[in-house]
Structure 1
Amino acid sequence: MHQALKDLLDLLDLEQIEEDMFRGQSRSAVVPRVFGGQVAAQALVAAGRTVPADRLAHSLHAYFLVAGDPGAPIVYTVDRIRDGRSFTTRRVVAVQHGRPIFHLSASFQTYEEGLDHQAPMPPAPDPESLPTAAELLPRYADSVLSPDVVARMLEAREAVDLRYVDAPPFAFVGKPQPPRSQVWFKAGGKLADDPLLHVCLATYVSDMTLLDSVLLAHGRGGWAVGDVVGASLDHAMWFHRPFRADEWLLYDQESPSASGGRGLGQARIYTQDGHLAITVIQEGVVRVPR
């Protein structure tokens, strides 16, 4: 297992400081604030720690309230909203420096049989045929990105093997594209069999590229080139079917709308054998600097 993945798993292994209260640390990010995917994943870990093991996460809904400080711990307080016969609901508030920075509601369910259908998986190339981040990103050093930005992006993605099907948005600056993007991803090593861990790892990665499709529609490169100021506002995920985050997952993303200084991204995540595992929707601030 890559050391970066071990470090990420350590971040997700929260310290319990009181009943229903947990503390998490932060890792370096490509921007001077806590990475939103980290906060969402840690909050889901906190919620899951208060739920019976036979109840699996099936959805989460979250709001990013204030940018987190990467130099300070985050305290997660869990409210046990409901424990029903089939469903369990938890609410989590993440606090830093005495104020809430993030809210999450998550629902868990015991397994049951039911109706079953899904949207078909779109075509995509074999992930092993695509360049790794270490192979792809340095191609844009100096010409589009500064070497420092490339180094920070590579560091942030060391724990996860994430491969673009097409070029990333900063390759199309000034050249608007269809508002759609695909990436393959998986953890950079074998994970334990705990289903909550795989769901939390996917939650972590889900915040990395979802708004790329907004940028593509307008020929913008995002924070990496400084032509857009952005931040996640809210995030929702539905976990439909079992999956492993240490096996290839296709993240098929698109943007149906951008307006009012905000952009919307929606996506479906498929297993490599074609099962729809997760649906994701996120809105973020997308502002053009003045």
Structure 2
Amino acid sequence: MNSIEDLIDLISLERVDDTTYVGQNYQAPWGRVFGGQVLGQSLHAAYQTVPDNKLAHSMHAYFILGGDLSIPITYEVENIRDGGSFATRRVVAKQDGKAIFNMAASFQVKEEGEDHQISIPNVITPKKLLSSLDQLKEMEQIDPYTYKFLQLTHPTTFEFKPVERLSALLTKNGPPFNHMWMRTAAPISVGLPMQQQLLAYMSDYNILTTASLPHREKLRADKTFYASIDHAIWFHRDFNISDWLLYTMDSPSASNARGFSRGSIFDRKGKLIASVTQEGLMRKMK
């Protein structure tokens, strides 16, 4: 994928019938279907079956099997409920007739109600930070394998600016906290449903890494197998994905070869737009 338009094309599925949709795969260099792709595509499939006046407010997903890059993914949508205010959908993603992923999403009409949120952390603004690609250059001599892997897998559709210095964050043991500014690499003008689908895609970057931060000296990239197990997103408020968003991540726990991470996503003005949780596999390879 070379552009954000390519990513939108990837997320936008082909309709087979009213409840079945088919998507192609981003040819991820690590050899398995990228979890963020399936998150975005499954939300797109669910949206095709929901009235226009309802917007996603949450999605909860489980990754069941690693996806095969050579096989298109079929998304089957089940209409669980249509109510006056809420709608619920279940989506199962399949390859060769086997479920590789399932997701439940809830949609709601816009309503007036009470409003509060936590405050955005006081961190360096993106204007004063180097991009992740620029920061990666410092790692070429420190950790050549991680440098090559991250350079190969870095997306071209988004721009990232890490608050913490990558050369220290990814090579030394440290506290399980991670702050990342992010936005689309080029401005786009799309509706909120597609912006949510793009945010779902983007939310899978960096969050599992956060759970590895206290253990970086043991869990080197070339000796550890990482994979998403489950992932949940709550969409709180409208946002503009072409403007800088701050992804603040922490990991309360790692155990049984699993790492658990949480994320809060704020816009540049400090508005909390989404919350994320993920548990992932961090298995040392023998």
TM-score norm. by structure 1 comes to 0.93
Q: Is the 8 A contact 2:133 2:151 kept in 1?
A: no
The equivalences for 1:1-290 within 5 A come to 3-146=2-145, 148-154=148-154, 157-168=155-166, 171-173=169-171, 175-220=172-217, 225-290=221-286
Percent identity of paired positions between Structure 1 and Structure 2: 38
TM superposition shift of 1:136: 2.1
Measure, in 1, the Cα distance between the counterparts of 2:217 and 2:284. 9
Segments of structure 1 that go 5 or more residues without pairing to the other structure are none
Measure, in 2, the Cα distance between the counterparts of 1:222 and 1:206. 22
- Cα distance per residue 1:103-144 (max 9 Å; x no partner): 000000000011111111111111122112332223323531
Aligned-residue CA RMSD (Å): 1.8
- Cα distance per residue 1:223-272 (max 9 Å; x no partner): 7x313211100001111111111111100000000111111000100011
Q: Is the 8 A contact 2:219 2:284 kept in 1?
A: no
TM superposition shift of 1:148: 4.4
TM superposition shift of 1:170: 7.4
Instruction: Return closer, same or farther for 1:242/1:222 CA change in 2, 3 Å cut-off.
Output: farther
TM superposition shift of 1:19: 1.5
Measure, in 2, the Cα distance between the counterparts of 1:24 and 1:96. 11
Segments of structure 2 that go 5 or more residues without pairing to the other structure are none
Q: Is the 8 A contact 1:56 1:110 kept in 2?
A: yes
> 2:284 corresponds to which letter in structure 1?
V
Measure, in 2, the Cα distance between the counterparts of 1:240 and 1:260. 32
> 1:40 corresponds to which letter in structure 2?
L
Q: Is the 8 A contact 2:15 2:21 kept in 1?
A: yes
Q: Is the 8 A contact 1:30 1:149 kept in 2?
A: no
Larger mean CA deviation between 37-46 and 127-136 belongs to 127-136
Instruction: Return closer, same or farther for 1:10/1:120 CA change in 2, 3 Å cut-off.
Output: same
> Alignment length, in residue pairs?
285
Matched residue SS, 1:211: helix
Matched residue SS, 2:247: strand
